[in-house]
Amino acid sequence: MWTRRAALAALAVACLAACSNAEASAEQEFIDAMREEFPGGDGLNDEEILTVGRDHVCGQYDDGQSGSGVLGFLTNAGYSTEQATFLIGTATSTLCPEHG
């Protein structure tokens, strides 16, 4: 019985580590894309870039916004339509693929 519990605990730890690595990889992919392709992205630090993706895109979807609602939120925040579209596509393909 204890052996099975130990095995399950080890599996849970391994799953958490894998999820953590996948999240870190997705975050770095988002940061890299923003630095390479987004006008002005090179003037932000990593945490600021992640905040834009997590809060301004993923967070809006999490709150129930539609794609056009997220686009409107971003353009009202001062992003051009092109910038907003890039943000949405990049964030939903890396940080929150469940919304892509």
Residue 21's pLDDT is 61
Nearest to 89 by CA among 43, 25, 21, 34: 34
Phi/psi for 55 (5° steps) reads -85, -45
Convert the pLDDT of each residue in 41-66 to its tens digit. Answer: 667 899 999 999 999 999 999 999 99
Terminal-residue alpha carbon distance, the chain: 42
User: How far is Cα 33 from Cα 74, in angstroms, rounded to an integer?
Assistant: 18
Residue 16's pLDDT is 46
Neighbours of 77 (CB within 10 A): 10
Q: Are 48 and 56 in contact (CB under 8 A)?
A: no
Instruction: Output the average pLDDT for the chain.
Output: 83
Residue 43's pLDDT is 78
